[in-house]
Amino acid sequence: MRAVIQRVQNAQVHVDGKEVGSCGKGLVILLGVAPEDTDSQVTWLVDKISGLRIFADDDGKMNDSMLDQRLSALVVSQFTLYGDTRRGRRPGFSRAAPPAIAEPLYERFCEVLAAKGVAVGRGVFGADMAVSLVNDGPVTLILDTP
């Protein structure tokens, strides 16, 4: 699995002009799934992201996690994170999992994150989405599962 996370003040995702998910202060998580990913990658990535100390504590230092501050997340599926641009000008997506594998793992990721006490907004798997956000920092990180 691969995730791009952005610390945000707030974010929303729209499909066909209608808001389908949002979050307040917290993280936007763009989530890509590879064909070989399993539930163990979901658990590892949720633990890693939810425990990252990337939010300011009372002294203004990045010492708090989203769990420490009880923040929210907006999780958006994004197969293009596995786009291969090494050859030509059109990305190839053969390293991205097909929907039959990716969608259940995306849903599981959201469920496991919510079970940790994070309010989780979601995009719509496979839909064309418009994501808007107010980046905070900016803080943007890329994480790959082992």
* From 6, 41, 55, 78, active-site residue: 78
Q: Of 49, 8, 33, 26, whose CA–CA distance to 132 is shortest?
A: 8
CA distances from 127 to 16, 20, 85, 103 (A): 9, 11, 23, 12
The reported pLDDT for the residue numbered 42 is 98
* From 6, 79, 109, 145, active-site residue: 79
Q: What angle do CA 104, 12, 131 make, to 5 degrees?
A: 75
The reported pLDDT for the residue numbered 54 is 98
103 token code pair: 């969608």
What pTM was estimated for this model as a whole? 0.96
Please give the residue range of the domain that contains residue 26. Answer: 2-144
Q: Is 79 a catalytic residue?
A: yes
Q: Is 109 a catalytic residue?
A: no
The reported pLDDT for the residue numbered 18 is 98
Q: How many domains does the chain have?
A: 1
Q: Is 12 a catalytic residue?
A: no
Q: CATH number, domain at 74?
A: 3.50.80.10
The reported pLDDT for the residue numbered 124 is 97
Rounded distance, CA 138 to CA 132, Å?
14
Q: What is the pLDDT of residues 7-66, one digit of tens each?
A: 999 999 999 999 999 999 999 999 999 999 999 999 999 999 999 999 999 999 999 999
Q: What is the pLDDT of residues 85-133, one digit of tens each?
A: 999 999 999 999 999 999 999 999 999 999 999 999 999 999 999 999 9
Residues 6+ apart with CB under 8 A from 95: 34, 35, 82, 84
Rounded distance, CA 92 to CA 8, Å?
30
The reported pLDDT for the residue numbered 126 is 94
The reported pLDDT for the residue numbered 48 is 98
* From 9, 38, 80, 140, active-site residue: 80
